[in-house]
């Protein structure tokens, strides 16, 4: 394919075609054109400048890595970028919420553990922790990884898929299979 010429006067569609042809200059021009809009929208949702910057970069990086996601006949490129940024920001908000719930549960458990006066309760909690660690160790590496990310980091299935660069369906099946194995391993133990 011949190199497309991109200038600051190029239309969004011209820039998109150049991005499809992996021309970095086109991505730079598109970023210059829409980054401030995407950043402002992300900041309004997330309220943290660092996260808004991350969402802005993720949005343009996703377009660069997966240009097939945009279909010109379905709408403008600017609207597509706004929708993608909004989706990325919502994923972060969900992740933050999951993470906060996990921390609250963890703090609750730690407070209860700290209040325990009965040594048998402490021993029992330690035994349960060891059983769970042993059961997790029996999972395959792939199953253990997705289960730990989901439950210890609080990431959504789509965030796990993106982090591990695997399909969401694969994440779901690994979590389902891993939990089934854990349930079976712990059925008579706890």
Instruction: State the Cα–Cα distance between residues 17 and 15, nearest whole angstrom.
Output: 5
Q: Which two tokens stand for residue 42?
A: 């992300």
Class for the domain spanning 118-186: mainly alpha
**CATH assignment, 12-92:** 1.10.1740.10
Angle, alpha carbons 169-174-177 (nearest 5°): 125
Which comes out higher in pLDDT, residue 117 or 138? 138
**pLDDT for 121:** 62
Residue 183 CA to its chain's centroid (Å): 26
Given a cut of 70, whether residue 2 has pLDDT beyond it is no
Intrachain domains 12-92 and 118-186 with the same fold? no
**pLDDT for 80:** 95
For the chain, which residues make up each domain, given as ranges? 12-92, 118-186
pTM: 0.53
Using one digit for the tens of pLDDT, what is the confidence trace for 15-27? 999 999 999 999 9
């Amino acid at each position: 394919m011949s190199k497309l010429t991109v200038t600051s006067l190029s239309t969004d569609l011209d820039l998109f075609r150049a991005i499809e042809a992996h021309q970095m200059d086109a991505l730079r021009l598109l970023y210059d054109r829409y980054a401030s809009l995407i950043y402002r929208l992300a900041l309004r949702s997330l309220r943290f400048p660092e996260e808004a910057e991350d969402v802005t970069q993720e949005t343009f990086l996703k377009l660069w890595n997966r240009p097939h996601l945009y279909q010109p006949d379905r709408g403008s490129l600017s609207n597509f970028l706004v929708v993608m940024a909004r989706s990325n920001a919502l994923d972060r908000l969900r992740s933050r919420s999951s993470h906060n719930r996990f921390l609250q549960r963890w703090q609750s458990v730690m407070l209860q553990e700290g209040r325990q006066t009965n040594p048998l309760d402490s021993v029992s909690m330690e035994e349960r922790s060891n059983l769970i660690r042993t059961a997790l160790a029996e999972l395959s590496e792939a199953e253990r990884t997705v289960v730990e990310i989901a439950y210890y980091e609080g990431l959504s299935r789509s965030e796990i898929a993106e982090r591990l660069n695997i399909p969401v369906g694969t994440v779901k099946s690994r979590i389902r299979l891993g939990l089934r194995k854990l349930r079976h391993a712990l059925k008579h133990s706890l």
